[in-house]
Homo-oligomer: A and B are copies of this chain.
Amino acid sequence: MPTARERVRAEITAEITEAARRQLAEVGAAALSLRAVAREVGMASSAVYRYFPSRDDLLTRLIIDGYDAVGAAAEAADDPTAAPEQRWSAVCAAVRDWARANPHEYALLYGSPVPGYAAPRDTVPAASRVGVVLGRILGDAARAGLLTGDGGREPGLLGDAAVEILGQDGPGIDDAVRVRALVAYCALFGTVGFELFGQLVGSVEDADRFFARATAELAQLVGIGPAGVRTG
């Protein structure tokens, strides 16, 4: 049971992170100022250091929360009873919607690493939640017999995380499928990022339609397209 002191400490910590999240949404990570956060919560800037050892630690907290938020959005968008392609597109759309609603937070997560590059390992589990959702869709499709992988591994190509997230060795899944899934994963965030950061201005007019088409193409790439067929 937490003591009263621990409780108030947790409360103030939450208050600080909440103010920091507002700052982040307003001005972006680069301009997020610990002093401004302190002002917003009505403390001296030095007092904030009782709760976060440095500005980067505060950002790390926001990063983890951000990964959890986009991961939760992806999980909420997945309807396990739907067809794999619909599930895939729905999850992709949820990621994009979250990104458009929280552009600065998305940039913090998937854009350039912020400080002298230090992504602590605390962020890894939270960061993989979207991948886990997409991997589960793929696994369900494999169990339903939609995928044609032969279970083969290509030694030294992929890491354990990919195998764990994208389905254990089993019918329908092999490293070729996993590679395509990873490419689609990269393509999803590449597309969202390019749209968000203005890299597609002039080339895409109807971003909604384009993104729907893109996710459909990616679904086909990973082998859960409408007909479930694919040339090898």
CB within 8 Å of B: which residues of A? 27-31, 107-108, 110-117, 119, 124, 127, 131, 156-162, 165, 179-180, 182-191, 193-194, 197-206, 209-210, 213-214, 217-218, 220-221, 229-231
Contact = CB atoms under 8 A, between A and B. Distances in A.
Contact of A214 (B156, B183, B204): B183
Q: Which 4 pairs, one residue from A and one from B, show the smallest C-beta to C-beta distance?
A: A190-B190, A111-B112, A187-B187, A161-B202
Nearest to A205: B159
A202 B124 contact: yes
A14 to B, nearest CB: 26
A107 B116 contact: no
Q: By CB atoms of chain B within 10 A, which of A112, A156, A202, A205 has the most?
A: A112
**Most chain B beta carbons < 10 A, residue from A27, A182, A206:** A182
Nearest to A202: B161
Contacts of A131: 203
A87 to B, nearest CB: 19
A16 B195 CA distance: 32
Contacts of A183: 187, 191, 213-214, 217-218
Contact of A197 (B113, B160, B165, B185): B113
Nearest to A161: B202
A190 B28 CA distance: 21
Contacts of A220: 231
A180 to B, nearest CB: 6
A117 to B, nearest CB: 8
Nearest to A166: B203
Given A162-B204, A197-B112, A202-B161, A179 B217 contact: yes
Given A182-B214, A186-B200, A193-B193, 6 more contacts: A111-B111, A158-B204, A182-B210, A183-B191, A230-B231, A231-B231
Nearest to A230: B231
